Structure 1
Amino acid sequence: MNVIIIEDEAPAGRRLQRMLEKLNVEVATTLQSVAEAILWFKNNPQPDLIFLDIQLSDGLSFEIFDEVTITSAIIFTTAYDEYALQAFKLNSIDYLLKPIDEDELKQAVTKYQNFQPVKSDVQLNFEDIKKLLVNPIERTYRKRFTVKVGQHLKLIPVDEVVCFYSENKGTYLHTNQNRSYLLDTTLEALQDELPPEKFFRVSRKFCIHIDAVKDIINYSNARLQVKLNQFDAQEIIVSRERVKDFKDWLS
C-alpha cells in the first residue's frame, strides 16, 4: 500500500507516520500545504491512500481538488466535530478525529484494506462538505443523565458533571457533589453526546468539564496535569499529543 500524508503540523505528521509504520504501512511522503500538494500530484503517480488534514497552512485542502483530479482513496484527519462531517460518509469518505487514536487508525486502515475501492474519476461533492464546515449541522446534546442508586433512578444535569472517567472496564460520571456513578456506556459513546465547548477528552481515561478545571500544571514530557474541583481521587494528565487541542479548547 502506497500512502501519503498531507498535514501542516509537522509533529502531527511525524506521529501519524510512526503510527502507520507500526501497521507496516509505507508512507511515501508528507506534504504540508495546498500548493505543495498540487505540485506533488502534478509530478507523481497517484498513491493508493491519502491521509488528508482539512485545514492547511495556506487554505482548505479541498482546494487541491480544484486543481488536480484525485482518484486515490482518502481518509480525512481533522479536529472538526464529527457531526459536521456527515457528508463525508455520504461520499464514502472515512475520517479520523484528532488527536488520532492508534486503535481507530488501525480500524480505518483495515477498513480500507478489506473494502478497497476501485479507482475511478467519480467526483466527490466537496462543495457540500465545505458548506457543512462553514455552517455545521445543528446538533443537540445530552442535558442530563439517568443513574441507578440502589432501587432508585437519579437524574443528573450535565452541568453538575465534573468529569467522566473509565476504571476497571467501567465508565463513571463524577458530580460536583463529589459522588461517582456507574454508567452503562463508554467514553467513546459519550463523546458523541456531550457539547464540545464544555467537555474535552484529555486522555483515554478522562473527559472533563471546562467549568470544573481548578488548576493546570506543566508536567513531564511536555504534558499537562489538570486539577478539578471536587475530584482528586486520580491524577489527570493531558497527553502530549492532545495538549495543543486542549489549549485551543480552553480559549
Structure 2
Amino acid sequence: MKVIIIEDEKPAARRLGRLLAELNVEVSTMLHSVEEAIVWFGENNHPDLIFLDIQLSDGLSFEIFDAIEVKSAIIFTTAYDEYALQAFKLNSIDYLLKPIDGEELESAVKKYRSLKPRFQKLTLDFDDIKKLLVDPLEREFKKRFTIKVGQHLKIINADEVECFYSENKGTYAATMDGRNYLLDTTLENLETELEPKSFFRVNRKFCVNIDHIKDIVSYTNSRLQIKLKHFSEQEIIVSRERVKNFKLWLE
C-alpha cells in the first residue's frame, strides 16, 4: 500500500507518520503545500491512500484537485469543526480530527483496508465540501431533543444541557436541573449535530457546553479539568491532545 501525507505542519506530519508506522503502514512521501503537491502528482504515480490536511500554508488542499484528477482514496486530517465534515461521509471517506488519536487512526486505516477492493476511482464533489467549509452560516444545528421518560415524551433544549457523556455503551444528557437522560444516539453523531460554538468534545467520553462551565483547573500531564455548574458525578478532563483546540474554542 502506497501512502502519502499532505500536511503543512511538519511536526504534525512526522507524528502522523510515526503513528502509521506503529500500524505497519509505511509513508512514502510527505508534502507540505498545495504547490508542492501539484508538482509531485504531475511527476509520480498516484498513491493508494492520501492523508490530507484541509488548510495548507498556501491555500485549501482542494486546489490540488482543481489541477489534477483524483485517483486515490483520501482520509482527511483537519482541525475544522465537525459540522463541516458531514460532506466527507457522503463519499465513504473517513476523517480524523486533529490532534489525531491513535485509536481513531487505527479505525480509519482498517476502514480503508476493508473498502479497498471496491476502490476503482474515487470521485469527490470538492465544490460542495468547500462551500460547507467557507460558508457554513446556513447550517442548522440541533436545538432540542425529545426524550422518552416512562410513558411520556420530554422536550429538552440544547442550551439546558451542561454536558453530553457516554457510559456503559449509552449516551446521556446531563441538564442544569441535575437530571441525566438517556439518548438514542452517540457522541459521534452529536458532534455533527450540535452548535460548535457552544459544544466541544473534550475527550472520548464528554462533550461540554461552554455556557455551563464554572471553572477550569490545571491538571496532571498538561491536561485541564472542567468543573460545571451542577454536574459533579464524574471528573471531566480535557485530554492532552485536545487542550490546544479547547483553548482556541474558548476564545
Q: Say which SS state the counterpart of residue 225 (structure 2) adopts.
A: strand
2:142 aligned partner, one-letter code: R
The aligned residue for residue 232 of structure 1 is 232
Q: For residues 103-118 of structure 1, what are the structure 2 equivalents within 5 Å?
A: 103-116=103-116
Residues 156 and 124 of structure 1: CA distance in aligned 2, closer, same or farther (over 3 Å)? closer
Q: For residues 1-251 of structure 1, what are the structure 2 equivalents within 5 Å?
A: 1-85=1-85, 87-88=87-88, 92=91, 94-99=93-98, 100-116=100-116, 124-136=124-136, 138-251=138-251
TM-score (normalizing by structure 1): 0.83
Shift of 1:205: 0.7
Residues 32 and 222 of structure 1: CA distance in aligned 2, closer, same or farther (over 3 Å)? farther
TM-score (normalizing by structure 2): 0.83
Aligned residues: 249
Q: Deviations over 1:55-82 (max 9, x none)?
A: 0122111222344454222222223345
1:95 aligned partner, one-letter code: D
Identity of matched residues, %: 66
Shift of 1:162: 0.5
Shift of 1:146: 3.1
- Greater shift, 101-110 or 71-80, is seen at 101-110
Name stretches of at least 5 consecutive residues in structure 1 with no aligned partner.
none
Q: Say which SS state the counterpart of residue 127 (structure 2) adopts.
A: helix
4+ runs deviating over 6 angstroms: none
Residues 220 and 61 of structure 1: CA distance in aligned 2, closer, same or farther (over 3 Å)? same
Name stretches of at least 5 consecutive residues in structure 2 with no aligned partner.
none
Report the RMSD for the aligned CA atoms in angstroms.
2.8
Cα separation, 2, equivalents of 1:240 and 1:187: 19
Cα separation, 1, equivalents of 2:17 and 2:66: 26
- Greater shift, 64-73 or 182-191, is seen at 64-73
Q: Say which SS state the counterpart of residue 80 (structure 2) adopts.
A: coil
Shift of 1:243: 1.7
